[in-house]
Structure 1
């Protein structure tokens, strides 16, 4: 198939899990014999067109239209304040990508496409315009929704874009059964919604490929001794990831296991709050923060050097970081209440146990979960081995790509123009 792929972030610009997903799924689609043309954003310094791993990547240059939008947009977008510049960048990029796709690639260059896919509301306006202009088969990939990301206080405009896309799309693909149920509860058409779990590359995330020297050097960098436990958090530093609740759990954890040190990797709007909370709780010696995006190999070394990983999200449609940790044979503690794809990844009981489920909103429960892992080192390591086995069976990019393509092919073959 020839696939138009519209996504907000793509390498080398990766902000979070969506960028990682886009990077791998497109590469695997090409490896399986399909043609993929990605349309994404440009920071202003990136090439407007190039081929990466066989994937054609288009990044039209945009322009700030916020001063014009401010004249006629409604109160909802007006209330974004300086954030209107962000909406403007998305709006303009979707128009630019749509124009390049429709007028340059199809009408001028006579290229053909079997279908398009768009990812979250960020590519949604492009999907809607192309659907109206060309009536191509459209798949809407939903990785999260506005009402959940914003504690129910989000933008009506973004909510409306999401719901409109769900209405006009021919298929909706989401990342977990928990997310599918949530979408249906919000009135989305359940008969359109398919579930495909995300994946990981177990050849890259392989504990046997990280030597003891690298692990020791990283622990030394953070001042973590051989007889101390390294607990790792990786992710965006905002409320949905439960990071503040994890920090609040630390005094209880330290009281029982004083030789535990938490390493936090990530950036986000809670950086100042985390710094203040660590100081207020007097746990500076047990919490190490790196407020930056860490390159993939270095992140893999962090997983390898850690003793356990903790991701206490309060809203997590899927969560690739857990797969990264599981592939690296680490026992994990995950937030499993509410809308949580972690529940479908992490087995919390029985012979195939891989970790602990907790309520990510509750620091007491997070502390309990961490202590459960620390009780018995041998058992915890067994959970880690189970975790990698589970990843190999259910959560590879090859499996995710094949299942996604099967849905695409079913749509294209049955589509009535």
Structure 2
């Protein structure tokens, strides 16, 4: 297949898990003999066209046009703050320029042919819709989350874009059955929806690749030493649950006085979390690393930890969980509402690899962290089971095969019924 692929994040630009997903899955597509042309956001100085790990990538350079955009800006977006309005304007421009490059240059001028258009989330949705309309090429739209799920009182403009994308697409792909249920509850057509989990590179996320002496040196360097290490990695926003994890620490310390929580990430909660550490007198037990780190360093954080905790309040999938499981770490995960973690983590029985918790309840979080830290044999069993589960269900090779199967289904359907549209 020849696939035009619109995704906001792609190397060298990462904002979160979507960038990791796009990087890994497109490499798999190339390895399996397919042709991928990626259209991604240009952060300012990125090359406008290049090849990354065998993947052709186009990043149209953006321009500023605040006075013009203020006229055509949706009324609701005009009430956003300055940064929000700029982001929306840049997103619209990224979509229009990317679609124009595909339609007018690659197809019209260079006579390229594409079998399928793929777009990820509302940030790249408009480009996918434009190209489907102009090229009569089928569209697959990937939902990694929804505006309504992230924030029910969120942007009506974004909700409208998501709904238009879902109704226009020939197929909707989402990352978990929990997310499928959410989409159906919003009225999206169930017959269009396919569930495809995310994956992890088990060759890279392998505890055997990190020497014990490197782990010990790292723990000393960050101030953990020989203490039990609780690890959280993620965007520091309300939805990811770092704040109830901090609230759980006093109860954890009562049982395990030398326990250390390491929080790694950036986001809106940085000042709040710092304030909480001071007010709860957790300075000796909490280590705050407000930064993004390269993957090689992230692997060492995982390897150094004793338990990984992700108390998300809304998590359609959550790649960090299967990364931790692949590194043979027991996990404690939020399991209320839309939670893909429930599909990753087995919380009981012979195959147990972690625990499900109520992310709104610090006592629940504390209870299961303590249970793991006090039982090294259980922790080791969870870790072994977790990696085995990833090897069986969440490798990129397996996920890529399942994704290509869905893509081929759409291409074949379009070839049989080219005028069927939506």
Matches of 2:129 and 2:70 in 1, distance apart? Answer: 23
Deviations 1:330-381 (A, max 9, x none): 0010001110000000000000000010011111111112112122111111
Matches of 2:75 and 2:109 in 1, distance apart? Answer: 39
Name 1:148's counterpart in structure 2: 149
Whether contact under 8 Å (2:216, 2:225) holds in the other structure is: no
What TM-score does the superposition give when structure 2 sets the normalisation length?
Answer: 0.97
Name 1:190's counterpart in structure 2: 190
Matches of 2:321 and 2:262 in 1, distance apart? Answer: 16
Matches of 2:228 and 2:336 in 1, distance apart? Answer: 26
Name 1:222's counterpart in structure 2: 222
Whether contact under 8 Å (2:42, 2:59) holds in the other structure is: yes
Give 1:73 shift: 2.6
Matches of 1:142 and 1:349 in 2, distance apart? Answer: 30
Name 2:309's counterpart in structure 1: 310
Matches of 1:213 and 1:346 in 2, distance apart? Answer: 30
In structure 1, list runs of 5 or more residues that go unmatched: none
- 2:46 counterpart of 1:61: no
In structure 2, list runs of 5 or more residues that go unmatched: none
Give 1:255 shift: 1.0
Name 2:405's counterpart in structure 1: 406
Matches of 1:59 and 1:73 in 2, distance apart? Answer: 23
Name 1:178's counterpart in structure 2: 178
Matches of 1:158 and 1:92 in 2, distance apart? Answer: 15
Name 1:267's counterpart in structure 2: 266
Matches of 1:288 and 1:295 in 2, distance apart? Answer: 19
Name 2:70's counterpart in structure 1: 70
Give secondary structure in 2 for the equivalent of 1:208: helix
Matches of 1:132 and 1:90 in 2, distance apart? Answer: 19
Matches of 1:90 and 1:371 in 2, distance apart? Answer: 44
- 2:339 counterpart of 1:340: yes
Whether contact under 8 Å (2:91, 2:123) holds in the other structure is: yes
Give 1:292 shift: 0.7
Name 2:10's counterpart in structure 1: 10
Whether contact under 8 Å (1:114, 1:136) holds in the other structure is: yes
Give 1:30 shift: 0.3
Matches of 2:347 and 2:66 in 1, distance apart? Answer: 48
Deviations 1:191-223 (A, max 9, x none): 000000100010000000100121011100122
Give secondary structure in 1 for the equivalent of 2:288: strand
Deviations 1:62-82 (A, max 9, x none): 112333222233331111121
Name 2:202's counterpart in structure 1: 202
Whether contact under 8 Å (1:65, 1:92) holds in the other structure is: no
Mapping for residues 316-331 of structure 1, pairs under 5 Å: 316-331=315-330
Matches of 2:268 and 2:372 in 1, distance apart? Answer: 29
Name 2:276's counterpart in structure 1: 277
What TM-score does the superposition give when structure 1 sets the normalisation length?
Answer: 0.98
Deviations 1:128-150 (A, max 9, x none): 11111112110000000001222
Matches of 1:316 and 1:281 in 2, distance apart? Answer: 27
Matches of 1:282 and 1:70 in 2, distance apart? Answer: 47
- The count of corresponding residues between Structure 1 and Structure 2 is 415
Name 1:356's counterpart in structure 2: 355
Whether contact under 8 Å (1:49, 1:59) holds in the other structure is: yes
Mapping for residues 82-97 of structure 1, pairs under 5 Å: 82=82, 83-97=84-98
- 2:307 counterpart of 1:289: no
Name 1:98's counterpart in structure 2: 99
Whether contact under 8 Å (2:239, 2:313) holds in the other structure is: yes
Matches of 1:308 and 1:81 in 2, distance apart? Answer: 38
Matches of 2:113 and 2:404 in 1, distance apart? Answer: 18
Deviations 1:378-417 (A, max 9, x none): 1111110000000000001111100000000011012122
Deviations 1:162-198 (A, max 9, x none): 0000000000000000000010001111000000010
Give secondary structure in 2 for the equivalent of 1:284: coil
